[in-house]
Structures are given as structure tokens and as C-alpha cells.
Amino acid sequence: MRDLNYQLKQFCRHNHEGSYTTRVQRERQLGAIANQLHALGFRHMRAGSLKPKHVQALVDAWLGQGLSPGTIKNRMSCLRWWAEKINKQNVIARSNEFYGIPDRRFVQTESKAQELVEEHFDRVKDAHVRMSLWLQQAFGLRREEALKIQPRRADRGEYLQLERSWTKGGRARAVPIGTPVQRAVLERAKALAGTGSLIPPHRRYIQQLRIYERQTANAGLSKMHGLRHAYAQRRYAELTGWPSPQAGGPSRTELTPEQQDIDCQARLVVSRELGHGRSQVTSVYLGK
């Protein structure tokens, strides 16, 4: 293993910022960045030798590959994390605009929403994975949240309280329990998990994650993030009285001023329930 790859791996192993999934993704990203620097001709690098020329070369390569703005910005976050660990924050410009990285596009041209029916759930053999999928569909949870959640502890009567240690970025949030289907799903989850989470006591999170990935693949299921898209579209329709643009409803420009106010408030609610800090992100789920 090259020095740079080894040292970055050690940085990742000895720093525990973020969720387990975030740390794994960061380690993979930095390993790929180290390999790309070597391929770009920067040989014999060490972690402490990061310079502006390395950052610029990487960004030029990424832009040349036609990577999406979101992918490039995620990689820039990893570079900034690396620079912080070696106390060289100034080698990377504060703004991504400095490198000509375009803004993210938050509008999708077609809906990614998907919903599962009983037949799909029946194909999943592991009861805990099956229950996590039910929770993802009913409450718009992320995969990690649907594994780590402790249903009995989260049940607050009228809403589901997601604790910081279960969520992306450590942002606690509440999701309303507003339908009989949601209540029924939650009661089944509580019965299965008892006083614990949807990770069986004899397994660790990473083990259950691998089982989730294998079980869903074997069941012919993919892109389960689409369950969050479907939740967002359902909630928007409940809050506004009309379908979102991604679900065939009117665009914002077609709404009356009064409807535009309702649309804005609904997007804020959906954003909070999904665990996002900005309503702009809801355009990915709802359209614009």
C-alpha cells in the first residue's frame, strides 16, 4: 500500500466524526482520491504534502470526466476534511465557485418514487430487514435510520421521534404518525424489536447493513431511496390538496399566489420531516 493511501486510511480509522456510513464512505472516497493523485503523476505523496496544485488537478480531472456537481462537491468535502486533519485548511479555497464547480441541480426530470406492495415484502426473508423496509415506506426514513431506530422509544403517540444517534448528520427530528397504516407499521415494528432496535442483539450495524443489501438484492429490489421520494410526494399532496409536479401536478408557475404560499409551507414541512435543512432540496423529491 502506498504511503498516502495508508496514512489517509489511518486518519479515517482514528477519527469518528459522523455516522458509521459517513465514515466508511469518507474512507472509500479518500482512497479513490489517493489513487487518482497517483494516476495524475503525483508520486510518493504523503498526507501532509497536500497542496493547492493537487486540489486543482483533481477538480480539473473531475470536471473533465463530466461528474455531477453533487459528486464533485462530496469529494471536495472529503478533501477539506483531509486538509483540516493536517492543519492545512488554506490549501483549499473556501468556495467551490473558485474552481468553476457548478451549482447542484435540485430538479429531477422524472420521478424516482417507488412503493412496495405485499408481494415485494414477502420476497425479503429476514424479518428485521422486512420491517425496516416497511418503516422506510411509511415514514420516509433513510436506510440507516430504519435499521438503527428503536421503535418503542421513538413512539411518542402523535409523532415518531428520531434521535440524533440514528440520523444522518446527527439531526434529530419528528415525523408525524397521521394514518392508520403508519400506526399499524409502528406497532408491528415495536412487537418485533421489543425494547431494542431493528438490528438484532447478536448483530452489529455493519452486519445488518450487509444483510439488508443482500436480502433486497436477492428479492429483486433496488433504489430503496425511492421510498423516501414516494413519502415526500404523499405528504405534499396531503398538505396542499394537489399532487406535486413530479407526481403529475402543476408547476409552481401554474399556481395562484395563494397556492404558491401553500406550496412553500408544504415544502418546508416535507423538508423537516425528511431531515433536510433547506426546502430547496425538496425539488429533488417533488419537482418545481
Q: For residue 31, count other CB atoms closer than 10 A to its CB.
A: 16
pLDDT given for residue 163 in this prediction: 96
**Cβ contact 116:110 at 8 Å:** no
In a structure prediction context, what are the per-residue pLDDT tens digits for the chain, which is 288 residues long? 688 999 999 999 888 787 778 888 899 999 999 999 999 999 889 999 999 999 999 998 998 888 888 889 999 999 999 999 999 999 998 888 888 887 765 555 578 899 999 999 999 999 999 999 999 999 999 999 999 999 999 999 999 999 999 998 788 999 999 999 999 999 999 999 999 999 999 999 999 999 999 999 999 998 899 999 999 999 999 999 999 999 999 998 999 999 999 999 999 999 999 998 777 788 889 988
pLDDT given for residue 228 in this prediction: 94
pLDDT given for residue 130 in this prediction: 97
Residue listed under C-alpha cell 488554506 = 90
pLDDT given for residue 69 in this prediction: 85
pLDDT given for residue 244 in this prediction: 94
pLDDT given for residue 15 in this prediction: 85
Task: Report in angstroms the alpha-carbon separations of 11 from 45, 74, 144, 245, 275.
Answer: 15, 18, 24, 44, 28
**Cβ contact 158:176 at 8 Å:** yes
* Region of residue 84 (left: phi > 0; alpha: psi -120 to 50; beta: else): alpha
pTM for the predicted model, two decimal places: 0.69
String of DSSP letters for the chain: --HHHHHHHHHHHH---S-HHHHHHHHHHHHHHHHHHHHTT-TT--GGG--HHHHHHHHHHHHHTT--HHHHHHHHHHHHHHHHHTT-GGGS-S-GGGGTPPPP----SS-------HHHHHH---HHHHHHHHHHHHH---HHHHHH--HHHHB-SSEEEE-GGGSGGG--EEEE--SHHHHHHHHHHHHHHTTS-SS-TTS-HHHHHHHHHHHHHHTT---TTHHHHHHHHHHHHHHHSS--GGGT---GGGS-HHHHHHHHHHHHHHHHHHT-S-GGGHHHHH--
